[in-house]
Structure 1
Amino acid sequence: MPIRTILIIEDEVEIAELVSIHLRNEGFQTLLAYDGTSGLERFRQHPVDLVILDIMMPNMNGHEVLTQIRQIDQTPVIFLSAKQSDFDKISGLVIGADDYMTKPFNPLELVARVNAQLRRAFQWTGQSKPFESNLIRLQNVILDADQRKVLVNEQPVNLTPKEFDIFWLLAGSPNQVFSTEKIFERVWKEDYFDGANTVMVHIRTLRKKISDTNKTKRLIETVWGVGYKVYA
């Protein structure tokens, strides 16, 4: 198995080095940066498999860094932040983060989440193919699981990893209703506690991105009190 490289972008040196030590003890290679600008530069210069990203940093904050990363590719990103409100967590996930941990945190839990994100990411890149077909066509939309791309009217649409996973889940079983609980458990791979708002926000931004705004005839339909489905 190849050695995975983790980029840690964290302005608190002690935290960055602590995370690095735990990851290297687990067999990972690490790269460190102590502000957003240098972190983005390291990301562009070195192939990495996952990014651990602080939000409040000098020069360029984590949200800005993540926005730049998502313009390049879909490398998994875990936010690390002292902000603990649900709004901050949902905001981070909506703009493209794959996970969100609050400070103070257990380094062993962070390592476990890194491993979970890497397993999920490399399932999608061909090491494991969970679907018989890697291409779905629905109305004017094409979903490509190999490249994790979506085309609407033959034009590419930039989705976050979670938005793509939700869309692929729904599109893979057209006309089947998925509850918010089932969507959360299948996409986030976590037990469902209060993920309804998270799912709802992701569905809302997904609809906007694919121009699914006709409320009388939507591709992604809300089944009130139950969940969501995609029309074939």
Structure 2
Amino acid sequence: MSQPPAPEPRVLVVEDDDVIREATSVSLSRLGFAVTAAADGASALNSFRQEPVDAVITDVMLPELDGVSLTRAIRERSTVPILMISARGDDIDVIAGLEAGADDYVTKPFRSNVLAARLRALMRRAALGTPPDPVPVRDIRTVGDLTVDLDAREVRVAGTLLSITPTELRLLIELTAAPGVVLSRESLLREVWDYAWGGDTRVVDVHVQRLRAKIGAERIVTVRGFGYKIVR
């Protein structure tokens, strides 16, 4: 018996420009996504609360509630993947969005197939946040009093369970795979964000900063000119 087709990933698109919002929604629908669209941050947040989605795409500049504030509000209740859209050159807004909890960003103008590829990569990482069925032997990494339970998808410091996003979990998995070994920003972009091409390494820097705030700044060392390593 053939398997039923997988449900379409549900995506919330938040964009105040009518033309861009409509074009993005149509393109993503053709590429296999079920799209809900909103024209401002406030209505987007209300929609998100009423009907959870698999991913969120939001512009930075929005009426009612800007994209950074929307991201922060969503992060208070969910680790859903968030992809931020900004005008080219809006570096301050990009950093603010990443610090608020966005997982990645693209700049306008963008191609629909690139946007879809970024979304699918984010959702693959988010799938790692769902614990598998229990297994007899657990895969647990321990670095000092930091433990990363790969089976339960849980991170603890001194026994205290932390709340981290799927992207932060993937980053920590890479760092703890080889404690004391320096990993370049480029390799982290490749392994954590699935970038097969050169990307913006600031995405790595901001997520390392967020991870440090949760597990302790002293645990992740910056090796200037090379990358990062987790302290053994």
Common fold by TM > 0.5 = yes
Distance in 1 between residues matched to 2:202 and 2:107, nearest whole Å: 19
- Match status 1:92 vs 2:97: yes
Distance in 2 between residues matched to 1:51 and 1:147, nearest whole Å: 25
Deviations 1:133-153 (A, max 9, x none): 554332222334456443323
Q: Please list every run of at least 4 consecutive aligned residues from structure 1 whose deviation after the TM superposition is greater than 6 angstroms.
A: none
Distance in 1 between residues matched to 2:101 and 2:108, nearest whole Å: 20
Closer/same/farther in 2, CA of residues 83 and 63 from structure 1, 3 Å limit: farther
**C-alpha contact (below 8 Å) 2:189/2:199 kept by paired residues:** no
Distance in 1 between residues matched to 2:57 and 2:45, nearest whole Å: 12
Distance in 2 between residues matched to 1:6 and 1:194, nearest whole Å: 23
Structure 1 residue aligned with 2:118: 113
Counting aligned pairs with the same residue, the percent is 37
**C-alpha contact (below 8 Å) 1:181/1:192 kept by paired residues:** no
Structure 2 residue aligned with 1:39: 44
Which aligned pairs between 1:132-171 and structure 2 lie closer than 5 A? 134-145=139-150, 148-171=153-176
From 67, 70, 75, give the equivalent of 2:75: 70
- Match status 1:57 vs 2:62: yes
Structure 2 residue aligned with 1:229: 229
- CA shift for structure 1 position 2: 1.9
- Match status 1:48 vs 2:53: yes
Distance in 1 between residues matched to 2:197 and 2:32, nearest whole Å: 31
Q: Which runs of 5+ in 1 are unaligned?
A: 213-217
State the aligned residue count.
Answer: 223
Closer/same/farther in 2, CA of residues 192 and 22 from structure 1, 3 Å limit: closer
Distance in 2 between residues matched to 1:149 and 1:63, nearest whole Å: 27
- CA shift for structure 1 position 8: 1.0
- Two-structure CA RMSD over aligned residues (Å): 2.6
- Match status 1:29 vs 2:34: yes
Distance in 1 between residues matched to 2:199 and 2:111, nearest whole Å: 22
Q: Which runs of 5+ in 2 are unaligned?
A: 1-5
- CA shift for structure 1 position 21: 0.9
Q: Which moved more, 1:79-88 or 1:25-34?
A: 79-88
Deviations 1:62-115 (A, max 9, x none): 111111111112111111222533443333223221221222222232223222
- CA shift for structure 1 position 57: 1.0
